[in-house]
Amino acid sequence: MTQVLALVTDAYGGRGGIAQAARDLIGALAAMETVAAIDVLPRHAAEALIGLPPRVHQRPPSQGRFGYATRALAAAGAHPGLVFCNHLYMAPLALLAARRAKAKCVIQLHGIEIWQEPTRAQREALERAHLIFCVSRDTRARALTHCDLAPERVLVLNNTVDPRFTPDNRGAARAKFGLGEEFALLIVGRIDQRERYKGHDRVIAALPGLRHPEGRRVVFLIAGDGNDRDRLQAEASAAGVAERVRFLGQVPVADLPDLYRAADLFVLPSTGEGFGIVFLEAMASGTPALGLAAGGAPDALGDGALGTMVGDARMLPDALQAAISAPRPDAAMLSAATVSRFGPLAFRESVAAALNLIGPHRSRRI
Amino acid sequence: MCGINGIFAYHGAANPVDRSEIIRTRDHMAARGPDGAGVWLSEDHRIGFGHRRLAIIDLTDGGAQPMENADGSLVITFNGEIYNYRELRHDLEKKGHVFRSSSDTEVLLHLYAARGEAMVDDLRGMFAFAIWDNEARSLFLARDPYGIKPLYVANDGWTFRFASQVKALLSGSKVSRDPEPAGVVGFHLWGSVPEPFTLYRDIRALPAGHIQLVDAAGPRKPEPYANIAQVFADGAARRVPKDEIHAKVRVAASESVAAHLLADVEVGVFLSAGVDSGALLGLMRDAGQNKVRAITLAFEEFRGTAEDEAPIASEIAGLYGAEHMVRVVGEAEFRADLPEILTAMDQPSIDGINTWFVAKAAREVGLKVSLSGLGGDEILAGYPSFRDIPRWVSLFGIPGAIPGLGVAARALMQAAGVAANNSKAASLLEFGGSYPGAYLLRRGLLLPHELRGVLDPDSVRLGLRRLKPLARLRETIDSTPSCAASKVAALESANYMRNQLLRDADWAGMAHSLEIRTPLVDFDLLKALSPVTPGLTPGAGKRALAAAPSTPLPASIVDRPKTGFGVPTGHWTAAASAATAASKGAASRAWAREVFGHFGRAGPLGLAAPAALAVVAE
């Protein structure tokens, strides 16, 4: 039986994709019969701790880098068999902890953190880790570009989609978001000046030219908030579509499944996604999705087999028009196809198969 | 020959295998196998194989591939020849295995069923194959100990692909063309791309003498099962007395040639004026092949000079009663063929032109299989490197060990203008003191410090860090054979021969649908002769081989200075690369730039010139 030490930015009680990915992986580890217990050391403050699986213990966050490193190395003194680290910037510390514990070291890579050449310490940590989980084929390719890694140790572990996202009652969902006959495009994500690559602008720019074949009004729902909202609002006004672009602000997590169900087309024409879990959430909710063939998005879109993959941003208006004109796919089938590739079961199988590669990682204490 | 390929969608999120991609990749290799084509897909479409066939053993459909076993639990796609397949089949039949064909391919299926991965230890031959084990849901790949047959793999994290050629993998259009700086740097250091690297990050060679397993968790690390250096080391530990060398060479070479004649079609021979191919011809006659057609290349430019091999080759052919066919090649034909040559060249190489023409000639007269003397210089210590490298190591070993002295000496000599045109001479102190360093000096096209003049700094930095040229060379003599000749033989066999000569023989032969067999590159021969190598003084190995046929080669041929196939190609390539070449080395470097430029240009087979591959002006 293996003790696992998880050095994470945040996990339980954390917000955002990276915390979610950490929770998913920790959950999959906890479900393995060979794992005895998981000791989670978060770096950052968290909201209320909910949803901890059995055998998972999460400590309070640490004050400062030095304090965190001290605690991480002390925790390694308990001889875990596996040290898991969910962020490149903590990878050197994770490697040190793993060496102290004589444990296997597994590092998770998400996306843009590896788009630039990593620091020497980070690169060496990756090169010495036993396994690297990459959220997409694109992230994996970038890791292999920057580091001298045996390709066999660098695995793709895509994000998984929460079982809450199902087709369910679409009519009620549309009523909840005040949708009548409109054809609703939806984007979900932060509206941050540093994350303009997500492509809100591209959809707004295309909006004036989009026509539904039956004359339904095409509207664009923007879920999420951030410091770029005023600019986007100005752009919508300038394009003459201010009344067709609806800023929903931050939508509560509990309402997200209904929001996806309510939409007619989920669109995220981003050039910088490590993966794009929101594509999965939309498709698992039965709503078709559209994205660019850039970064990790092709993984989430199943190379075009699940969602629509647009070759490059210049082709977006035509692709949107085509998607608006196409009949809505069967929600149950789309959802089932998404879950069979990216559901919790597939995810757990991937984690188990991957850990099998680095063999038994027994704790010395047990 | 033959061409193999396959796709395994191992990751649960990957799309099912696309039959049309298998066929695109397969048919890029049409020249490897003009006699038949097959495709196989599993019922769930998670795995599929392609095969192009050059029929040599069991010419009937019984030898068609991909081949399934009787209950469909195993499927194989195989490229190569198993020279001991009849013995293996006999043993398997005694254990109750029932065969449906007379092909060597079917023997591999039964052997896997009986022995699993350990089957590779039983095989004698040149091979690259993949076996799908439907019960274990795993894919097993293997490549022969010397790496005579190629096998390239690509893994994008979802889907695993393999093929006999890099360009075939690319032609499927699903494999990334992102550059691999280690391959780029490797080509500029050596003039060929050192395995496991290719020019592309996502494509690697399954290394010679390795097996690999792929299952739901993806490909495992390739595992070695045979090691050339280890055999040389073992041989050095039980070296034979000098007076037994001739007998040992005679027995081993005769046996290997006889094994390499196994075919259901005619086997010819490439004949030069040298000892290696002449002895092969003599041994073919000894093995009972009465009719032998021998192909010799002659060059218009050399007609009537001492460099013309045709007259002496003709004499050797006469000695053994072979039908001699001299094929004359001139610069005009070279220029006409050049576009085809560059298209057929799978990875950039500064050589192979000579093999192109001799294979072309063999095919013109209807041969499908030909023996080649390739490998004689490596196993019988024929290269000048067997003399030079140990000498350099003993001269420069001690001063070269003083940190910084070598680099300082080179800088000083270059500053003083002493070594303006000879960087290698200036680097003797820097590299000459160790076997890997001296080998780099002997075989290198450029030295590491010269790369920045040809490639952009990032490619050089990333490429060298990943390639680790000296460390990689050291690994090829890791088992440290104790004697100098064995060390050099191991270095030559696992580097120049593997990455340059055997690759060239493959793409240049393949382009003409000709199978080139190499009786002097044979793992069994190596095991037999490795105790001989330590005792070989300069010329002794060749004299022993010359004496191996029952009618030995005459002294006039044995003592003739070596020329070898294809001397004027250096002039042609220098002319084709539009550079004024002051020396042979400069001509090679100019040709290397020409070839590399071709690979860097956008085109249906070329590279979409990414910035990292940009060749900076000289």
Q: In this prediction, what percent of chain B has a pLDDT beyond 90?
A: 66
H or E segment at A184? Answer: strand A183-188
Give the chain B residue whose CA is nearest to the CA of A154.
B157
Choose from A136, A148, A348, A355 for mutation: most chain B CBs within 10 A: A148
Residue A172 has pLDDT above 90, yes or no: yes
**pLDDT for residue B99:** 94
| C-alpha distance from B156 to closest chain A C-alpha (Å) | 6
**What phi, psi does A63 have (nearest 5°)?**
-90, 115
Tell if the CB–CB gap between A357 and B220 is shorter than 8 Å: yes
In 3D space, the residue among A148, A8, A151, A150 whose CA is nearest the CA of residue A89 turns out to be A8
Tell if the CB–CB gap between B157 and A302 is shorter than 8 Å: no
In 3D space, the residue among B76, B57, B542 whose CA is nearest the CA of residue B259 turns out to be B57
Tell if the CB–CB gap between B178 and A150 is shorter than 8 Å: no
Band (B590; pLDDT cuts 50, 70, 90): confident
Residue A150 has pLDDT above 80, yes or no: yes
The token pair at A202 is 């591209």
Model confidence over B282-335: pLDDT tens digits? 999 999 998 999 999 998 888 888 788 899 999 999 999 999 999 999 989 999
Report B:440-469 residues touching A (Cβ under 8 A). 465-466
The token pair at B199 is 């020019």
Stronger pLDDT, B57 or B616, i.e. the higher one: B57
Residues 6+ apart with CB under 8 A from B407: B430
Model confidence over A249-293: pLDDT tens digits? 999 999 999 999 999 999 999 999 999 999 999 999 999 999 999
**pLDDT for residue B597:** 85
**Edge-first strand listing for the sheet containing B293-299:** B323-329, B293-299, B267-270, B369-371, B515-517
Residues 6+ apart with CB under 8 A from A274: A109, A110, A111, A112, A135, A136, A138, A139, A295, A296
**Edge-first strand listing for the sheet containing B160-163:** B36-41, B47-53, B3-8, B160-163, B152-155, B203-205
CA distance B55 to B35: 6
The token pair at B251 is 């027995």
Tell if the CB–CB gap between A302 and B204 is shorter than 8 Å: no
Q: Give the pLDDT mean for B560-580.
A: 62
**What phi, psi does A196 have (nearest 5°)?**
-70, -15
Name the least confident of A182-196, B424-438, B502-516.
B424-438
**pLDDT for residue B279:** 97
Residue A359 has pLDDT above 80, yes or no: no
**pLDDT for residue A229:** 95
Helix, strand, coil tally for chain A in percent (to 5): 45, 15, 35
Q: Give the pLDDT mean for B17-27.
A: 97
With vertex at residue B376, the alpha carbon angle to CA B373 and CA B378, rounded to the nearest 5 degrees, is 135
A346 contact residues in B (CB cutoff 8 A): 12-13
Band (B517; pLDDT cuts 50, 70, 90): very high
Band (A216; pLDDT cuts 50, 70, 90): very high
**pLDDT for residue B281:** 97
H or E segment at B396? Answer: helix B385-400
Give the chain B residue whose CA is nearest to the CA of A127.
B466
**Edge-first strand listing for the sheet containing A104-109:** A56-58, A35-42, A2-8, A82-85, A104-109, A131-134, A154-156
In 3D space, the residue among A107, A134, A110 whose CA is nearest the CA of residue B155 turns out to be A134
CA distances from A86 to A52, A281, B29, B122 (A): 17, 22, 44, 46
Choose from B11, B177, B613 for mutation: most chain A CBs within 10 A: B11
Chain A to chain B Cβ contacts (< 8 Å): 62
CA distances from B132 to B69, B140, B350, B533 (A): 11, 6, 37, 40
B201 DSSP assignment: T
B419 DSSP assignment: T
Tell if the CB–CB gap between B157 and A353 is shorter than 8 Å: no
Q: In this prediction, what percent of chain A has a pLDDT beyond 70?
A: 98
The answer to whether the beta carbons of residues B230 and B26 sit under 8 Å apart is no
Residues 6+ apart with CB under 8 A from A221: A177, A184, A185, A186, A187, A246, A248, A259, A263
| CB-based contact, A342 to chain B, within 8 Å | yes
Alpha helices, DSSP H only, in B275-320? 275-286, 310-320
Tell me which residue in A148, A151, A341 faces B155 most closely, judged by beta carbons: A151
H or E segment at B378? Answer: helix B376-379
The bridge status of strand B267-270 relative to strand B293-299 is parallel
Band (B572; pLDDT cuts 50, 70, 90): confident
The answer to whether the beta carbons of residues A271 and A292 sit under 8 Å apart is yes
A266 DSSP assignment: E
| C-alpha distance from B222 to closest chain A C-alpha (Å) | 9
Q: Which residues pair with A56 in a beta bridge?
A: A38
Tell if the CB–CB gap between B220 and A305 is shorter than 8 Å: no
In 10 A of CB B325, how many CB atoms? 17
Helix, strand, coil tally for chain B in percent (to 5): 45, 15, 35
> With left for phi above 0 and alpha for psi between -120 and 50, is residue B526 left, alpha or beta?
alpha
Residues 6+ apart with CB under 8 A from B328: B298, B299, B300, B303
Identity (one letter) of the amino acid at A161? V
In 3D space, the residue among B79, B75, B141 whose CA is nearest the CA of residue B113 turns out to be B75
| C-alpha distance from B502 to closest chain A C-alpha (Å) | 25
**pLDDT for residue A222:** 97
The bridge status of strand B47-53 relative to strand B267-270 is unpaired
**What phi, psi does B345 have (nearest 5°)?**
-65, 120
The answer to whether the beta carbons of residues A302 and A284 sit under 8 Å apart is no
Residue B137 has pLDDT above 90, yes or no: yes
Four-point Cα dihedral A328, A331, A336, A339, nearest 10: 90
Residues 6+ apart with CB under 8 A from B239: B483, B531, B532, B534, B535
The bridge status of strand B223-224 relative to strand B210-215 is antiparallel
Q: Give the pLDDT mean for B190-216.
A: 96
The answer to whether the beta carbons of residues B220 and A357 sit under 8 Å apart is yes
Choose from B15, B152, B175, B204 for mutation: most chain A CBs within 10 A: B15
The answer to whether the beta carbons of residues B161 and B175 sit under 8 Å apart is yes
Burial zone of B563 (CB within 10 Å; 0-12 exposed, 13-18 middle, 19+ buried): middle
Give the chain B residue whose CA is nearest to the CA of A351.
B217
| CB-based contact, B172 to chain A, within 8 Å | no
Q: Helices B181-190 & B457-467, crossing angle to 10 degrees? A: 90
Name the least confident of B181-185, B392-396, B469-473.
B392-396
H or E segment at A245? Answer: strand A245-249
Band (B419; pLDDT cuts 50, 70, 90): low
| CB-based contact, B173 to chain A, within 8 Å | no
| C-alpha distance from B219 to closest chain A C-alpha (Å) | 6
| C-alpha distance from B533 to closest chain A C-alpha (Å) | 35
The answer to whether the beta carbons of residues B117 and B212 sit under 8 Å apart is no
The token pair at A24 is 């998913």
Identity (one letter) of the amino acid at B486? S
With vertex at residue B219, the alpha carbon angle to CA B217 and CA B221, rounded to the nearest 5 degrees, is 120
The token pair at B414 is 């270059």
B217 contact residues in A (CB cutoff 8 A): 155, 353-354, 356-357
Choose from B202, B204, B472 for mutation: most chain A CBs within 10 A: B202
